[in-house]
């Protein structure tokens, strides 16, 4: 775990201060698959259209709200208040959890929710599934998340849904 808080952008920092890259998370999981869990906190739509780590538990931390926020110029995400309870269905507070989203922001929020719920070993996968935006202004893929991340690090992933590893919120 080479990353330190000083190297982590503020939006990816967590109260526990535990950080890994996608590659490091995968290596940690490979070394102890019974003791390390990968938790993907993105939405089901992201799992379906972008893909997900083959061994990950898919437990969304937030849902997309379809009410336009004119000030932020986006459709915002709404945190799911039962997130930590759903994680508790598959993990104990003393287990090692590697939490990921698209690029490390939502997973930081998720790690903080879990820390507040008593989980002690929650690492933020700071480059997430797709990585950070490519800042190369000469690239045809400018602003596309093409550097680092789970998919770009050679870690195993699939677009095939695995309902047995999805812990979704209850339908209201």
pLDDT tens-place string over residues 53-92? 999 999 999 999 999 999 989 999 999 999 999 999 999 9
> Is the Cβ–Cβ distance between 31 and 131 less than 8 Å?
no
**Rg (Cα) of the chain, in Å, rounded?**
15
- Asked whether the predicted pLDDT for residue 137 surpasses 90, the reply is no
Q: What's the rounded Cα separation, in Å, for the pair 160 and 81?
A: 27
- The alpha carbon of residue 168 and the mean position of all alpha carbons in its chain are separated, in whole angstroms, by 15
Taking the model in full, what pTM does it have? 0.89
Split at pLDDT 50, 70, 90, the class of 49 is very high
Name the nearest CA neighbour of 100 among 45, 170, 47: 47
- The string of pLDDT tens digits covering residues 1-25 is 455 666 899 999 999 999 999 999 9
List domains and CATH numbers for the chain. 18-159 (3.40.250.10)
Residues of the chain by 3-state class (helix, strand, coil), percent to 5? 30, 20, 50
Q: Tell me what pLDDT residue 142 has.
A: 52
Q: Tell me what pLDDT residue 118 has.
A: 98
- Asked whether the predicted pLDDT for residue 155 surpasses 70, the reply is yes
């Amino acid at each position: 775990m080479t990353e330190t808080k000083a190297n982590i952008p503020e939006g990816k920092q967590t109260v526990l201060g535990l950080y890994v890259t996608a590659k490091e998370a995968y290596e940690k999981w490979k070394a102890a698959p019974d003791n390390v869990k990968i938790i993907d906190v993105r939405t089901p739509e992201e799992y379906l259209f972008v893909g997900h780590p083959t061994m990950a538990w898919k437990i969304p931390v937030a849902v997309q709200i379809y009410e336009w926020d004119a000030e932020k110029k986006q459709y915002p995400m709404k945190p799911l208040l039962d997130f930590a309870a759903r994680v508790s269905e598959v993990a104990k507070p003393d287990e090692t959890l590697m939490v990921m989203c698209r690029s490390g922001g939502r997973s930081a929020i998720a790690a903080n929710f879990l820390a507040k719920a008593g989980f002690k070993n929650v690492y933020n996968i700071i480059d997430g599934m797709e990585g950070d935006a490519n800042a190369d202004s000469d690239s045809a893929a400018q602003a596309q998340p093409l550097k680092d991340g789970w998919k770009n690090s050679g870690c195993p992933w699939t677009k095939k849904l695995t309902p047995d590893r999805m812990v979704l919120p209850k339908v209201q």
